[in-house]
Structure 1
């Protein structure tokens, strides 16, 4: 066991940010509004300006989570996507997993009604503990994250070692919070969604005080949830407040907090019936429909404080502090495996699927009062300097983060036999019979990034992050304790060549790190032992271009990720070793673009992915395709601005994904599926009021198909496409 390392810690309360913000606000009278000062103030972040972010024309956004500041995607040696708040509204996006309809590199990873969202990027499932950011700082995504107060969602594709100390390969997701706008904003909205979900929202932003130095923005939302899946009714609400104070032309102080609540039963997946992949059935069947079924409850409180200080003409210091506190009651009637009496006399136990007759073992799972806390402090200097003939855009920083997860005993008890028709009724089994695992993590990360302009056309991009990590875990009864420390560095290198106006070619190489410890159980020969770090590697080459009416991106990537596996019989004490076991390699080509011609706008993309297992000690799985990873994906949207009706636009969308493997041995798969969506948007202005109507039909032709096939918890699950769903909304901007 590695000797524990004590890292610097800090305490942060959401109330502290609110109090700090309230002091200057209360000291200023609301009526004291004067002209904007003539001195140029420190530039506010793009989320504060709320400039519309589009993937059309020549309005290229930046991906802040990439680490290269405000460099637009058109000039950055990487691939990413930005989804603006307006784009989310036009497409009826309510949760992160809805983004899988628009980007070919994104797909589902165990996404279901009533639970948290998971994404696959370039075939790798993002880790909800380590691959998610909020305004660039780490958060836990093991919760329901509301979008009502988010200005945009950024997705970085590829190895993320220079942005995160530890993370799964594939990319990062960053939620950018709405900040006070330069001009006053008042917006109210109402949305109805089939069957009878209703959401109301309010968005207010004001500037006030001497020289309009203070800004305040409030977002509020409440929803009654009644989706097309029966017995999945719930509710949610959000309140978020963000403020800023321009102390001087060189100093900007920002503070914000949000509190959210969601309560809704989750919907488990279907599965194989014996050795057969069944035809996709009625997606309105809810297998979590017992009289004792309880909702999953997510409560979240997040707050942050950010200070930006200009230091001279070319340098800026940023201090960013954030705290996230989550409480979850995770409860479900959970199908898992089954026993069939056939063939007699011994029968068959199906450990990772349902029985051929559609029956399954049903378990009463309850893990209540789960507490997760994430604190982070980031200090950085960003600026420009010149050394001889070279110009540098340089960032130096330190990130100190802490994670503390506390759980109570849990239930996972056999409750009876269920069936895929959802007609069986069983008795509850709520006794807390199993232990849970508490976890702690502390890390200090030092990072440096430098974009070096070698010539006006040629730029070298250099990045390095050094991480010192300490992790500990222990069961709730004090058993199976683990504690270890590791240090590692993750470099990232790229070169880009602007070979013509608005045309860019680039090549990059980078690493990512994942850290793991052998479980502290008696069946392992190395219980509690810190395993060598998993170092993934990515090579990527790409081309980008744009003109007045066309944008395009083309990238080829090769990602290799080492794998850990349990080697041995693993049925008795000291018969199992957790160790490195080969790699998985994802090689692919991704193309995307947008083209405008008159009233038409087309945007979309495709990805071809060759993902295979290699060098495993289990020879039978070498050369096989990972489960739940489509080899080809295609996403297309067409928008038509109707010339005859001012303000009216029509939109259609197509999604196609190829087959996915259901089992690790590739003996079963779900077929490819297609989905079509249709939407309309009309915007009109009446005096000083702007009215926006939106309507849409998702899954227009009510296609019945399996959407994804995650192999989760050692079990194969199948999730169907959602049934045809109608939605409509009204937004009023004053």
Structure 2
């Protein structure tokens, strides 16, 4: 604490340290809580994440790569919003991941599709919204081609949100502060009901005032959620839950190149928000989701589970949106830091998703071999209904220092596009024990898909019907009780429609692009250490327009986006130390294009390597106190499609502390930390949107503190 005497008295880190010290000294007889070591997705004893569809197979014995991030892990890292999850997972990258907007990720270098790569308790949802984490038990990731679980999706993987369900009598309360003025309060009430404990109810509520280090981004959000269970009989379980959420916050447009030149990140204040006009309005996300799940144990070996879900989203999407430097330079801001500014407004966007699934799971003996079978059907329906939108250039030019105020131009006369999508998917999975240490894993999914789009003025209508099958198979060998090797191969599918414009010779034509992935892996896990080493190779068909689309062109399949990489992880604990680290090396290239100038180019905004590591030390002399250090490293990214400009690599460090103690009936956890300890200035990512290059800076140094009480 002596070092804090030279700092301002209101420095959050000093406040945190002071609070920890005063609280600790107040405990005359501290009781050491049982240490819980969380190893995400690796430990042999931990269940496999359900995002892969193989139930409770231990992660260390599953022939695919998954990771699960619990509420405790998120709280230790100070993560309160989904778009911050990239700080934990090396395979998860930023892909136009703007503050105040919905999270946009990439996995294994492929940008995820917010309409198709997200699940909620295994059912498909639309992630074009702000997804609250407060009523989620875990966020699970599947790395790799996702055709095993999704009829259509971008390759790279899936994100699944596991909803909190009743577990027993417990009450948890949380309050937190994040610099420069964000405040959060949350409650989690878990209650057993009924004379025999045959029912349960879990309530989650949170409210948050948003005032981040980013300027002109003040807002608020809240959540109210309830989940209930009813044990109708020893064989029958009924579960229901509902969630209501709201977020209102201005979004963050990106910076950009200056006359095609990459500006020095150190010369840009990362706290500047270019969405700072007097007429700037917040982006508003309102969501309601409800689901019902029925599980019936048919006998000792067979179980039937049916679940249904409906999700309703209403968005007001608004921004003062910087875009280009006149007709001559649409991909960059001007060399003097000025830019064209557009008034963008799309009010009352309505997105409704419905899904119903049923799956029969069981064990059988056929041909002298043990089989673990699952037969499922999934029906999915999506409606996107929109009104007119504004995307109007305003008079004058903005500046990158955010100092210029310009007039609004809110006329909403642009025609939006309504979408309707329906799919029916049949799936079959089988885990065959060929011999006790050898298993064959088989998966097959058949999808029938109907899609319709039409502009709200009735023009440019498209309709397509497609059917396709995506297989998946793997072979695993348990080399020792702790070491497993596996090889897998699978396909995924994406569906697209050629723009229904008269300049396209194949306008409105539907197409299916099948990706394929091969993977080899080693996994090790014992009671102390877990590690994995995985090599993957993914091919994804690419398309391009041939000809001049101002007059006549054709959209054709043209080569592949080929991503080849290596993932490694190591986690474990010894004495008072706990380590959790992961890394990914990626070689991404365009191959097989008829345009030789595109071949061997690295896609933009894809890092060549990433590293995430965290080290925890439980102080022996002070039971309940642990000190944590973390590091993030991001390799070089390409900025332009011709690979003539790159973002330099960057590394940030973080420090945190956690102190746990017991009161008479309450368990307390006090957390404090600082992210980007050395206030590194660097460009975090360089997404290209609508042929314009944007630049997002690394978040500035940020302090945080929270207190949790569990009764």
TM over 0.5: yes
Post-superposition offset of 1:54: 4.8
Separation in 1 of the partners of 2:183 and 2:44? 36
Q: Look up the match of 2:549.
A: 570
Kindly report which structure 2 residues correspond to 1:319-718, keeping only aligned pairs within 5 A, or say none: 319-339=306-326, 349-416=328-395, 417-531=397-511, 533-572=512-551, 575-718=552-695
Task: Give 4+ residue runs of structure 1 displaced > 3 Å after superposition.
Answer: 50-59
Matched, 1:722 2:699: yes
Aligned counterpart in structure 1 of residue 155 of structure 2, from 169, 172, 188? 169
Q: Look up the match of 1:287.
A: 274
Separation in 2 of the partners of 1:497 and 1:170? 24
Q: Look up the match of 2:112.
A: 126
Alpha-carbon deviations, 1:526-551, whole Å to 9, x = none?
211112x1000000000001223211
CA contact (8 A) 1:56 1:595 kept: no
Separation in 2 of the partners of 1:56 and 1:362? 48
Aligned counterpart in structure 2 of residue 60 of structure 1, from 43, 46, 50? 46
Alpha-carbon deviations, 1:538-574, whole Å to 9, x = none?
00000001223211000000000001112211122xx
Post-superposition offset of 1:119: 1.1
Post-superposition offset of 1:136: 0.2
CA contact (8 A) 2:44 2:58 kept: no
CA contact (8 A) 1:648 1:680 kept: yes
CA contact (8 A) 2:287 2:311 kept: yes
Post-superposition offset of 1:388: 3.3
Aligned counterpart in structure 2 of residue 254 of structure 1, from 224, 231, 239? 239
TM-score (norm 1): 0.90
Q: Look up the match of 1:97.
A: 83
Q: Look up the match of 1:81.
A: 67
Task: Give 3-state SS (helix, strand or coil) of 1:212's partner.
Answer: coil
Post-superposition offset of 1:523: 2.1
Separation in 1 of the partners of 2:456 and 2:147? 32
Post-superposition offset of 1:524: 1.4
Post-superposition offset of 1:52: 7.0
Alpha-carbon deviations, 1:586-637, whole Å to 9, x = none?
0001100113110011111111110001122332121010000011111111
Alpha-carbon deviations, 1:319-371, whole Å to 9, x = none?
100000000000000011113xxxxxxxx711111111111100000011000
Q: Look up the match of 2:3.
A: none
Q: Look up the match of 2:170.
A: 185
Matched, 1:245 2:230: yes
CA contact (8 A) 2:217 2:250 kept: yes
CA contact (8 A) 1:130 1:168 kept: yes
Query: Does the C-alpha gap of structure 1 residues 56 and 557 become closer, same or farther in structure 2, counting only changes over 3 Å?
Result: closer
Kindly report which structure 2 residues correspond to 1:130-145, keeping only aligned pairs within 5 A, or say none: 130-145=116-131
Alpha-carbon deviations, 1:353-392, whole Å to 9, x = none?
1111111100000011000011000011001001132000
Post-superposition offset of 1:210: 2.8
Q: Which runs of 5+ in 2 are unaligned?
A: 1-35
Alpha-carbon deviations, 1:58-99, whole Å to 9, x = none?
542311010101112111000011101111111111122322
Task: Give 3-state SS (helix, strand or coil) of 1:718's partner.
Answer: strand
CA contact (8 A) 1:373 1:404 kept: yes
CA contact (8 A) 1:242 1:255 kept: yes
Question: Comparing 51-60 with 428-437, which one deviates more in the overlay?
Answer: 51-60
Aligned counterpart in structure 2 of residue 303 of structure 1, from 278, 286, 290? 290
Task: Tell me the number of residue pairs that the alignment of Structure 1 and Structure 2 aligns.
Answer: 673
Task: Give 3-state SS (helix, strand or coil) of 2:196's partner.
Answer: helix
Alpha-carbon deviations, 1:294-337, whole Å to 9, x = none?
00000000000000000011000001000000000000000111
Q: Which runs of 5+ in 1 are unaligned?
A: 1-49, 340-347
Task: Give 3-state SS (helix, strand or coil) of 1:621's partner.
Answer: coil
Separation in 2 of the partners of 1:394 and 1:218? 35
Q: Look up the match of 2:101.
A: 115
Q: Look up the match of 1:39.
A: none
Q: Look up the match of 2:205.
A: 220
Task: Give 3-state SS (helix, strand or coil) of 1:622's partner.
Answer: coil
CA contact (8 A) 1:325 1:372 kept: yes
Alpha-carbon deviations, 1:240-288, whole Å to 9, x = none?
0000000011000000000000000001000111121001111011100
TM-score (norm 2): 0.93
Task: Give 3-state SS (helix, strand or coil) of 2:74's partner.
Answer: helix
Query: Does the C-alpha gap of structure 1 residues 159 and 476 become closer, same or farther in structure 2, counting only changes over 3 Å?
Result: same
What do you get for the CA RMSD once the two structures are aligned?
A: 1.3
Alpha-carbon deviations, 1:123-154, whole Å to 9, x = none?
00110000000000000000000000000010
Separation in 1 of the partners of 2:685 and 2:556? 29
Post-superposition offset of 1:53: 6.9
